[in-house]
C-alpha cells in the first residue's frame, strides 16, 4: 500500500506538488496531466528519486526519504527514454547490472536473465550490443532490467512516447501481463483505459481521482 | 562501433579468463617491442593470425581489424623507408599489426563485463588510496555504452541544422549537443540510482 500524507514538493520558490494526501491500493494506477503539472515529481517520490519538502510518503513499510536504496529494489522505475536507462553495452550485461547489488549466486543471476529474455523474445539478442536494438526492443530491455530485480511495484514514466504503433502495442501487452502493481505516467490515454484508477494532476494538485471511464472524458474536456 | 566488438563463441580463447588474456596482451605488446627481431615477430604474428580461425573468425573479421589502421601502417612503412630501408618498414608494420590484431582478438572474445570484472579485481589493492574500482568500472562501461548514443544524437542534430541551412555552423552543432548530453547525463544518473547501484555496497 502506498500512502501520501500532506505531501508537498518545492523547487526553490516554485511549489510543484501541493499538500497531496491519498492512499493507493489498486493494481493498475494511471497518472495523467499536462506537462509541468507535477505528475513525474509525484511518481519520483515513490522510489526516493525525489524527497518531499513536507509531509510523508510510505510505500509498504518503507519511507522513501530514509530507505531509498532498499526501496529502489522494491519499486522499479522505467523511464521514458530507454537509451538513458541502459547502462551496459551488451544486453545480458545490462540485465546483470541491477542484480549485482542483490549479490545473488551466479546460477541465479543467469537463470533470471535467461527467464526475462525469454519472456520478451529477446533471447536471440542476449549477447548483442544494446545500441543496435530497435526502439521497442530497447524499451523491453529497459523493462526487463527493472523486472529482473523482482520488484513489488513498477513505475512507468511515459513508456510509449518514443515508440511506433507496433512497439507501443508490444509494450502495452508487456505491462498488461505484469503481476506487479503498476503506476503509469502517460499522455497515451488508450494505454491506461483499462486501469483501475486515474489520478489527473493540474498545477501540482490532484484535480480528478476516479476510474478511467469517469476521469478520462473529463480530462479530455480539461485539455480541450 | 567500439561497443559492438564482442562476437559470441565457444572457442578456448572465448572461455579463457579475461585477466589472463589482458596479461597476455601486455606481455605480447612488450615482447614485440623489446625484441625487434624478424623470427620472433613472424612467429608471434603467425600465431595471432592462426588464432582467428580457431576462434571462428574469417578473413573479413581480420580485415575489419586492420582496415582502420591501414593508412597509419602505410605511413609507418613510408617513414621507415625514408629513414632506413624497406625491411625495417616491414618489421614495424608486422610489429604494430601483431599487437593490434591480438588486442582485437582479446576484445572479440571477451565480454565487456568480464574485462571490467578483471579490471575491478586488479584495482582492488588501490582501495585504501581512495580508488573505488566499482565506480571506475561503471564509468568505463558507460563510455563504451554511450559513444554510439552520443554519435546518434550528433547525427540527429547535424540533420536538424542542415535542414535549417546551418550545416556550416560549428556553434549550431556544439551547443545543442552539449545541452542534450548534459541532460542525458542527468537522466542516466537518475536511472542508475533507480536501478539500485551502490558502489560501496557492491564492493563489500
Same domain, B89 and B150: no
For chain A, which residues lie within 8 Å of any Cβ of chain B, measuring from their own Cβ?
Answer: 47, 49, 69, 72-73, 76-77, 79, 81, 83-90, 93, 96-98, 100-103, 127, 129-132, 145-146, 149
pLDDT in tens, A127-173: 888 888 988 899 999 999 999 999 999 999 999 888 889 889 988 99
Domain boundary pick from B121, B153, B178: B121
Asked, for residue B63, whether it belongs to a domain, the answer is yes
Asked, for residue B202, whether it belongs to a domain, the answer is no
pLDDT in tens, A11-59: 888 889 999 999 999 999 999 999 989 999 999 999 888 889 999 999 9
CA torsion A28-A200-A223-A13 (nearest 10°) is -140
Nearest CB to A127: which of B6, B145, B196?
B6
In the DSSP assignment, the letter for residue A80 is S
Same domain, B100 and B42: yes
Compute the average pLDDT of residues B76-102: 92
pLDDT surpassing 80 at residue B1: no
pLDDT surpassing 60 at residue B47: yes
- On whether any CB of chain A is under 8 Å from the CB of B142, the answer is yes
Same domain, B20 and B117: yes
Q: Which domain holds residue B158?
A: 132-194
Q: Which three cell numbers stand for residue A28?
A: 493498475
With an 8 Å Cβ cutoff, are A69 and B196 in contact? Answer: yes
The label of the residue with cell 585477466 reads B19
Q: CA B126 to CA B75: how far, in whole Å?
A: 40
Q: CA A32 to CA B72: how far, in whole Å?
A: 57
Same domain, B16 and B58: yes
Which value does ipTM take for this structure? Answer: 0.78
Question: What's this model's pTM, rounded to 2 decimal places?
Answer: 0.78
- Distances in Å between the Cα of A178 and the Cα atoms of A139, B106, B129 are 15, 40, 45
pLDDT in tens, A187-216: 999 999 999 999 999 999 999 999 999 999
Question: In whole angstroms, what separates CA B138 from the centre of its chain?
Answer: 16
Q: What fold does the segment set A2-222 form as a domain? A: Rossmann fold (3.40.50)
Shortest Cα–Cα distance, B69 to chain A (Å): 23
Nearest residue on chain A to B5, alpha-carbon basis = A129
Number of domains in chain B: 2
How confident is residue B3, by pLDDT bands cut at 50, 70 and 90? very low
Q: Which carries the bigger pLDDT value, residue A170 or residue B168?
A: A170
In the DSSP assignment, the letter for residue A187 is S
Calculate Rg over the CA atoms of chain A: 18
Nearest CB to A130: which of B145, B191, B197?
B145
Which pLDDT score is estimated for B202?
52
Amino acid at each position: 500500500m502506498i500512502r501520501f500524507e500532506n505531501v508537498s514538493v518545492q523547487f526553490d520558490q516554485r511549489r510543484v506538488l501541493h499538500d497531496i494526501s491519498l492512499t493507493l491500493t489498486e493494481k493498475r494506477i494511471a497518472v495523467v496531466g499536462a506537462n509541468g503539472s507535477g505528475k513525474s515529481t509525484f511518481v519520483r517520490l515513490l522510489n526516493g528519486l525525489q524527497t518531499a519538502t513536507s509531509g510523508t510518503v510510505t510505500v509498504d513499510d518503507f519511507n522513501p526519504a530514509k530507505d531509498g536504496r532498499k526501496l529502489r529494489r522494491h519499486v522499479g522505475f522505467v523511464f521514458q527514454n530507454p537509451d538513458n536507462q541502459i547502462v551496459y553495452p551488451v544486453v545480458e550485461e545490462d540485465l546483470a547490472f541491477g542484480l549485482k547489488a542483490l549479490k545473488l549466486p551466479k546460477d541465479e543471476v543467469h537463470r533470471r536473465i535467461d527467464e526475462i529474455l525469454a519472456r520478451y523474445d529477446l533471447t536471440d539478442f542476449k549477447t548483442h550490443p544494446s545500441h543496435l536494438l530497435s526502439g521497442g526492443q530497447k524499451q523491453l530491455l529497459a523493462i526487463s532490467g527493472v523486472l529482473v530485480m523482482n520488484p513489488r511495484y513498477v513505475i512507468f514514466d511515459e513508456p510509449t512516447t518514443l515508440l511506433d504503433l507496433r512497439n507501443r502495442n508490444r509494450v502495452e501487452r508487456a505491462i498488461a501481463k505484469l503481476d506487479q502493481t503498476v503506476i503509469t505516467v502517460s499522455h497515451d490515454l488508450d494505454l491506461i483505459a483499462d486501469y483501475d484508477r486515474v489520478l489527473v494532476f493540474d498545477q501540482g494538485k490532484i484535480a480528478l481521482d476516479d476510474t478511467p471511464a469517469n476521469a478520462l472524458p473529463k480530462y479530455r474536456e480539461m485539455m480541450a | 562501433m567500439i561497443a559492438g566488438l564482442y562476437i559470441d563463441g565457444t572457442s578456448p580463447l572465448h572461455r579463457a579468463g579475461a585477466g589472463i588474456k589482458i596479461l597476455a596482451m601486455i606481455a605480447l605488446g612488450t615482447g614485440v617491442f623489446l625484441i625487434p627481431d624478424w623470427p620472433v615477430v613472424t612467429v608471434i604474428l603467425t600465431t595471432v593470425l592462426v588464432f582467428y580461425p580457431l576462434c571462428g573468425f574469417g578473413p573479413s573479421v581480420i580485415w575489419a581489424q586492420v582496415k582502420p589502421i591501414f593508412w597509419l601502417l602505410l605511413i609507418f612503412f613510408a617513414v621507415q623507408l625514408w629513414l632506413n630501408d624497406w625491411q625495417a618498414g616491414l618489421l614495424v608494420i608486422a610489429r604494430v599489426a601483431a599487437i593490434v590484431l591480438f588486442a582485437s582478438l582479446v576484445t572479440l572474445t571477451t565480454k565487456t563485463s568480464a574485462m571490467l570484472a578483471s579490471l575491478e579485481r586488479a584495482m582492488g589493492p588501490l582501495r585504501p588510496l581512495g580508488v573505488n574500482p566499482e565506480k571506475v568500472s561503471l564509468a568505463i562501461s558507460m563510455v563504451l555504452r554511450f559513444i554510439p548514443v552520443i554519435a546518434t544524437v550528433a547525427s540527429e542534430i547535424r540533420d536538424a541544422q542542415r535542414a535549417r541551412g546551418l550545416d556550416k555552423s560549428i556553434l549550431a552543432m556544439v551547443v545543442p549537443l552539449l545541452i542534450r548530453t548534459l541532460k542525458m547525463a542527468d537522466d542516466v544518473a537518475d536511472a542508475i540510482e533507480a536501478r539500485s547501484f551502490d558502489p560501496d555496497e557492491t564492493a563489500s
